[in-house]
Amino acid sequence: MRDTRGRSRGLVAAAAVVVALGWLEAARPWGLSLPRLTGGLVHLDLLIRAGIFTIVLVGLNLLMGYAGQVSLGQAAFYGMGAFFSAILTVRAPVLGIPPTVASTWWWPWLLMAVGTVLVGGFAYAIGLVILRLRGHYLAMATLGLGIVVYIVLRENLGLPHLNLTGGFDGVFGIPRLRVGPWMVWPAARYYFLVWAVALGAVALGLNLIDSRVGRALRAIHGAEGAAECLGIAAHRYKAQVFALSAGLASLAGSLYAHFQAAVVPATFGFVPSLELVVMSAVGGMTSIWGAPAGAMAVLLMSEVLRTRIRHVIPGVAGEIEAVVFGLLLVGVLLFWPSGLVGRRAGNATALPPAGRRAAEGAAP
Amino acid sequence: MAPWRARPGWGLGGAAVLLAAALVLAGRRHGFGVPDYAQFVVDGLQAGAIYALVALGFVVVYRVTGVINFAQGAFVMLGPMLTITFLGASTTVSAPRLAASALAAVAATGALGVVVYRLALHPARGALLLTKIMITVGVYLVLQGTALLAWGPRPYVLPAFATLEMRDRSVLVGDVLIRAQSLWIWGTTAACLALLALFFERTLTGKAMRACAVNRLAAQLAGIRVDTMATLAFGLAAVLGAVAGIVVGPVTRPTFDMGLEVGLKGFVAAIMGGLVRFQGAIAGALILGVLETLWAGVTLAGFKDLFAFVVLVVLLLARPHGFAGAEAEAERP
């Protein structure tokens, strides 16, 4: 058993950082705002996006770092959550939802919860079958699944006459969230909402890895066959963690939709899925704290690229990002497999040859 | 082992025939006649020939190194892009110049494949499979991003080989239109297959590579440099990818992100054929090409790209333990 007091101390410290950063931003009138202190690099937008990605990455780290299952299509679940919220709030009249319901303040919150459960359930059903695959096959299947979801979103779910997803243009005019008469807006309020959820996800992840489930997941990662011999129902645990990661991604997607007020399918395609993997690897996928660390580090880096590189190399703004993401992924995996805060003892990357062979299992 | 287990080809072949029948039936809704279907088959065989070349690249690398190279699609994209760059901006293209540019592009891509293996995968040869998969994904991101930097997002034009212009020549056989470029594609694929067969059957290096595929440890004990063979496999895969990209270039307008789609379809073809068998990969590629074209004909236009991925997911689910099966387990100590 790990020291649970140390864990809650970590959460309190993280919450303190979140509040402090939010406070700094609120101190704008006194000339103390975040952008000013960081030379214009960090805005509240960036922190909100980092919080949203943290929610996705907690799930991804549980899935990849702890259970050892690759997912190259995670952005699909993120997109499903985002489009679920977007469609059912904006297109409510088309779908025959009475405006008395669709315009209430609790409707978007209800959708967020329902979307999370639905996407989680969908992922569980898919996971029971798909997670029988290992290694390359699983990577390819999740990649394929992600692309199928992306194309279906892009093609209006195959129902062109209804125009639910808006095709390439997506859905816009997504309403801001409210609690009774109070708006969760401007951004400073939304920032606290997002990070409250993100820290909740981190707490959930931290509790999970020390629980029965977490130990089962690590056993599955180490040697699936041996774990099954010990009576661990590997396929069910894997499907559960897949469902959990999908549910978290969906929740994050909903938060993203209400933050951006617009969603386009391109945000949830193949390259965004890979960016999530990059963030997970950079933060350290063998630690839950790797989620906020990776999200923050990668977002900061792309912000530097966007705002600074442009002045060094003219005409090159966002294009260089993919190159850097790729180099970062290869470099981190080769030279720094534990990432920013990951543990080597999490047996994800540095196994002795005998253990490695067992981990790869019989299937290639 | 039950007898039907030993011949997975029959099950897959039967499923393909059933699917084709279903697609043909769905096509009646649009009032398609025999010439329409014949045209679909011709177009499908053209696409299938490309997938075959890409699939062979996957198979070669997988057999020798046990890794599926997610960056394979990037090599397909680099072939035509480099060819266009080497051709330069001249308005009239001469045949020798096009041939020289294409050869240079193939050589450059092959060299890049070698570099990728030595820099990114060789250092990680002891790492977990998960790590290797993600490394090839990272390589793909780097190559596609570099292509975007170098060539921008716009589609390019590669002149048709027969006319050396944008407009291609074509012949009508009955009601079926056959483009000259299709003949080039089929011819190149056939030539590549013949050369590959010669290489693996007749040359010492080819035999050494086959030995690595069967049993790496034994090959090493027999004095074969397994690392060198793995490097060669990557180079060979890159060459096959580049050739595929170049011959299809005049038909599809190459862009920096074309690699993902072609690469994944090549992978689907490889997996349809069992991932370790060359003949299987080619058969899988041709079947995939034809079925996909039929599908594109009978469904919504935007769903064209969906087919291969749906097939991929369904295929993988139908055979959860992978397609390489017992053969691959014996190969990988």
The per-residue pLDDT for range A8-48, each reduced to its tens digit, is 888 999 999 999 888 888 777 787 888 877 877 788 899 99
Rounded to an integer, the average pLDDT of A257-273 is 92
pLDDT band (50, 70, 90) for residue B79: very high
Q: Can you give the pLDDT at residue A313? A: 65
Å from B258 to nearest chain A CA?
13
* A208's tokens: 């999970």
User: For residue B170, what pLDDT band results from cuts at 50, 70 and 90?
Assistant: confident
Q: Do B142 and A326 touch (CB under 8 A)?
A: yes
What tens digit of pLDDT does each residue of B275-331 get? 778 888 899 899 999 999 988 888 877 787 788 888 888 877 777 655 654 444 434
Residues with Cβ within 8 Å of A312's Cβ and at least 6 positions away in sequence, in order, are: none
Contact by Cβ (8 Å): A254, A82 = yes
pLDDT at residue B252, as a whole number: 87
| Res A255: pLDDT | 97
* Per-residue pLDDT tens digits for A286-341: 899 999 999 999 999 888 887 777 666 666 656 778 888 899 999 998 998 888 98
* Residue-level pLDDT at B315: 79
Q: Which pair of structure tokens corresponds to residue A145? A: 């699944």
Interface test with B, best of A130, A132, A136 (most B CBs within 10 A): A136
> What's the pLDDT at A360?
43
> In Å, how far is A309's CA from the nearest CA of chain B?
13
Answer yes or no: do B148 and A322 touch at CB < 8 A: yes
Of the two residues B333 and A135, the one the predictor is more confident about is A135
Q: What is the pTM of this model?
A: 0.88
pLDDT-above-90 percentage for chain A: 48
The helix or strand, by DSSP H or E, that contains position A172, with its residue range, turns out to be: strand A171-172
Find the closest chain A residue to B311 by CA distance: A144
- The predicted pLDDT at position B333 comes to 35
How confident is residue A174, by pLDDT bands cut at 50, 70 and 90? very high
Query: B137 and chain A: CB distance < 8 Å anywhere?
Result: yes
Q: Sign of the C-alpha dihedral, residues A24, A28, A30, A36?
A: positive
What does the alpha-carbon distance between residue A49 and residue B28 come to, in Å, rounded to a whole number?
A: 49
Q: Hey, is the C-beta of A125 within 8 angstroms of any chain B C-beta?
A: no
Of A137, A144, A349, the CB nearest to B309: A144
The verdict on A220 touching B (C-beta cutoff 8 Å) is no
Instruction: Report chain B's mean pLDDT, rounded to a whole number.
Output: 85
Q: What is the Cα–Cα distance from B169 to A325, expressed in whole angstroms?
A: 43
Is the minimum CB–CB distance between B271 and chain A shorter than 8 Å?
yes
Residue percentage of chain B with pLDDT more than 70: 91
A278 touches chain B (CB under 8 A): yes
Place of tokens 């030379």: A39
Identify which of A136, A141, A319 has the shortest CB distance to residue B133.
Answer: A136
In angstroms, the first-to-last Cα distance of chain B is 22
Of B81 and A364, more confident: B81
A128 at interface of B, judged by CB pairs closer than 8 A: no
Residue A117, min C-alpha distance to chain B (Å): 23
Contact B137 A270 (CB under 8 A): no
ipTM of the complex: 0.84
Say how far apart CA B178 and CA B81 lie, in whole Å: 25
List the 40-79 stretch of A: residues with Cβ below 8 A of B: 64, 68, 70, 72
**Would you place residue B35 in the very low, low, confident or very high pLDDT band (cuts 50, 70, 90)?**
confident
Q: The tokens 């308005």 sit on which residue?
A: B91
Among residues A54, A94, A101, A100, which one has the least CA distance to residue A78? A54
Residue A289, min C-alpha distance to chain B (Å):
20
B43-62: average pLDDT: 92
Confidence of residue B24 (pLDDT cuts 50, 70, 90): confident
- Residue B7: the pLDDT is 53
Kindly report, residue by residue over A201-249, the tens digit of the pLDDT. Answer: 999 999 999 898 888 998 888 888 888 888 888 889 999 999 999 999 9
Q: Residue B256 carries which side chain, given as an amino acid letter?
A: F
CA atoms in the 13 A half-sphere facing the CB of B270: 29
Hey, are the CB atoms on A364 and B316 less than 8 Å from each other? no
